[in-house]
A and B are shown apart, each in its own frame.
Chain A
Amino acid sequence: MSSSNLQSPIPEPPVMPAEVTIQRSTSFRDDALRRFKKNPTAIFGLVIVILFLLLAIFGRQLTPFDPFAQNIRNAHQAPGGEHLLGTDFFGRDVLSRIIYGARISLFVGVSVVTIQAAIGVVVGLVAGYYGGKIEAVMMRLVDAFIAFPGIILAMAIMAVRGQGIENVIFALSFAGWPTFARLVRSEVISLKEREYVQAARGLGFHDAKIMFKHILPNCLATIIVYATMGIANPIIAEAGLSFLGLGATSEQATWGFQMSLERQYMRTAWWGVTFPGLAVMIVVLGFNLLGDGLRDVLDPRMKE
């Protein structure tokens, strides 16, 4: 640091060579990545998630049997043998159906959370930033949504709109965005009092720029963490809706749908319902571990 303008009559101590004070310039991202690598549970979660993502993407190529091919003579074969995880009532290969179902389950999870986040972030940003009447109106709406149990609201929407995965996505997004709005709003309220946001206002930047350039990047960590952990919810909810017969149609073969079909044979053929259930559990566990790890890494308050 320059100290030449001090005009001190006493000789200054020798200035340290500049190189000593230079740190390697690491961005926040590099820093986060380094800490992520030191977090074994997060890595474990990531591995699970990537594994299922690969299943979802290359599912068609990986299925040992056609997930829709029925063979009544083969019905309810026990696991092991030709069919690794057994067959269901129609003689379809359970493993193939799980692999095929991964695509739909993950698609539902990711798209629902994306839509929820997109709506919630905008509502939360606007409500938190402007405050006053705008906030009051928006947040009362959010409260009204949250007052409904999410799954009941989703069931009501499904009952109106009928079965089908698009309707599941719509219903779950519609029921879930208010939580995001609340989360973002509370974050924005604390961030907008920060001096760098005030400085941005002082510099004359327009509101959208301040909201999206200065506030949003600083609550992104919270959003990412919540979204990652949140992906598990629609997967469970979809399974639940399909189990109740309000979700996927028979062509869509999701895990929940499979479980609802096979639940009546649970005593005689436990594999038909157990393995899809395990798939749900493992994927949810993966996203939760990943989300937990991301929170440790991204949340500045968790920094050591």
Chain B
Amino acid sequence: MNPDGEMMKTDQQSRTDQQTNDPTPKATGETIMKVSHLKKYYPIKGGVLSRVVGHVKAVDDVSFDIKEGETLGLVGESGCGKTTTGKTIMRLVSHTDGEVLFRGKNIFALSKSEMKAYRKEVQIIFQDPYGSLNPRQTVGDMLTEIITYHQLASGEGVQQRIRQLMEMVGLSDYHIGRYPHEFSGGQRQRIGIARALCLNPRMIICDEPVSALDVSIQSQILNLLKDLQAELGLTYLFIAHDLSVVKHISDRVGVMYLGRLAELSETDRLFENPLHPYTQALLSAIPVADPDHTAVKAVLKGDVPSPSNPPKGCVFHTRCPQCMPICSQEIPVMTEPEPNHYVACHLYPAEQQHRGKPEENQH
């Protein structure tokens, strides 16, 4: 390996260490958003008359809440419904059932003016920095359009605000007149962040904001997001499939599997003491940067079942190493075996709530 590569690795290693030790002074504790029993089913049409012959259960009965100022990570394999959850909360796709309360108000029952206000409060950053910017608009045009549409500023104030936004995301004034194709992936993602910040939102849904980026750029964007959060007191719903990214940025983490939430807890607790067998398998799959490390991997067998025909009972039971007879019969309910540590698994029956670590966990 060339010396440069070596240097970069150590650099990154030390950075990660620094950040995990870094205490995160956030989360005022007030709930900003409460998602309860959210469902999003996509109909499958078939036959001559395109009748509905089934449903893809992209999001199935997901509940969690997000506290003001915190970062809630949402992880899972691709196709587990995490992005759909984010888009449903953004109201970019319609929901099937359940409700999302934002500051106590159900977002699916907002009037037109309330909806406009909600749009100002909650924004989204997309995964694909190439697809998320209109190729026919310069950065300045794009931001001007948003500012004037929502009447956030006028005259000189518009340019001032644009310059302020550019500075916030680490771009320069001379970038304002450029078209998206003139930027690198990382820069485009910064523009995407500027767009999200433009309305001065309280909460941002980050839909895999770094998955499409180079590893060296990932950390820059993540740090930018962290800095912005500290500066502006933002709340993040951070959707990702990369566990190390989620661990880095989140205060709490929810693990999704096949449209359902498997486990939800504070980040450190979840990574140190995963309760759900799926989380355990997921965590053991994180590569360790140590050639002598012999991983005791809980390797899962088989593929993720189709969300159009999920297994009966617990959706994970077909692949679960600790499957019990009850698992194929009943859908597990969310229990709280440890304080603030929620898990949907029959290994942790409801009677054992709040009694510390259940015995089943000692494996």
Contacts and interface: CB of A to CB of B under 8 A. Distances in A.
A25 B178 contact: yes
Contact of A25 (B120, B179, B187): B179
A1 B220 contact: yes
A9 B220 CA distance: 15
Given A25-B177, A28-B136, A5 B131 contact: no
A198 interface: yes
Nearest to A201: B92
A5 B128 CA distance: 23
A10 B14 CA distance: 9
Contacts of B115: 204
Interface stretch (A88-96, A152-160, A210-218): A210-218
Contacts, number: 91
Nearest to B177: A25
| A: interface residue count bin | 20 to 34
Nearest to A23: B182
Interface string A190-229: 0000111011111111000100011001100000000000
Interface stretch (B145-153, B157-165, B254-262, B309-317): B145-153
A61 interface: no
B126 A209 contact: no
A147 B359 CA distance: 71
Contact of A300 (B11, B126, B132, B135): B135
A196 B220 contact: no
17 contacts: A2-B170, A6-B15, A6-B220, A8-B14, A8-B15, A9-B14, A10-B10, A25-B182, A26-B179, A28-B179, A195-B127, A195-B131, A203-B119, A204-B116, A204-B120, A214-B134, A300-B135
Contact of B220 (A3, A23, A25): A3
A6 B219 contact: yes
B177 A196 contact: no
A7 B87 CA distance: 34
Given A2-B170, A22-B174, A204 B119 contact: yes
A248 B14 CA distance: 82
Contact of B123 (A5, A195, A202): A202
B179 A202 contact: no
A300 B180 CA distance: 14
Contacts of B128: 195
A1 B227 contact: no
Given A198-B126, A202-B92, A204-B120, 4 more contacts: A8-B14, A10-B7, A199-B195, A217-B134
B133 interface: yes
Given A25-B179, A28-B179, A203 B146 contact: yes
Interface string A37-63: 000000000000000000000000000
A209 B149 contact: yes
A1 B177 contact: no
B320 interface: no
B92 A28 contact: no
B124 A199 contact: yes
Contacts of B199: 203
A18 interface: yes
A27 interface: yes
A218 B131 CA distance: 12
B123 A196 contact: no
Contacts of B178: 25
Interface string B1-21: 000000100110011001000
A202 B223 contact: no
B337 interface: no
A5 B150 contact: no
A22 B177 CA distance: 12
Contacts of B146: 203
B350 interface: no
Contacts of B192: 199
Contact of A213 (B10, B11, B145, B219): B145
Given A10-B11, A18-B172, A195-B131, A202 B150 contact: no
Interface string B188-211: 000010010011000000000000
Nearest to B145: A213
A213 B133 CA distance: 13
Contacts of A3: 220
Given A10-B11, A203-B146, A218-B136, A5 B224 contact: yes
Interface in B93-142: 115-116, 119-120, 123-124, 126-128, 131-136
Contacts of B133: 196
Contacts of B223: 5-6
Contacts of A2: 170, 220
A195 B126 contact: yes
Nearest to B136: A217
Contacts of A1: 170, 184, 186-187, 220
Contacts of A214: 134
B90 interface: yes
A8 B216 CA distance: 12
Contacts of A27: 179
A194 B146 CA distance: 18
A218 B135 contact: yes
Interface string B201-242: 000000000000000000110011001000000000000000
Contacts of B224: 5
A200 B198 CA distance: 12
Contacts of B186: 1
A213 B150 CA distance: 16
Contacts of B135: 28, 218, 300
A7 to B, nearest CB: 7
Contacts of A202: 90, 92, 119, 123-124
B164 to A, nearest CB: 15
Contacts of B170: 1-2, 5
Residue of A6, A23, A199, A218 ringed by the most chain B CB atoms within 10 A: A199
Contacts of B11: 8-10
B146 to A, nearest CB: 6
9 interchain residue pairs of minimum CB distance: A204-B119, A195-B132, A2-B170, A195-B126, A196-B134, A217-B136, A195-B131, A10-B11, A5-B223
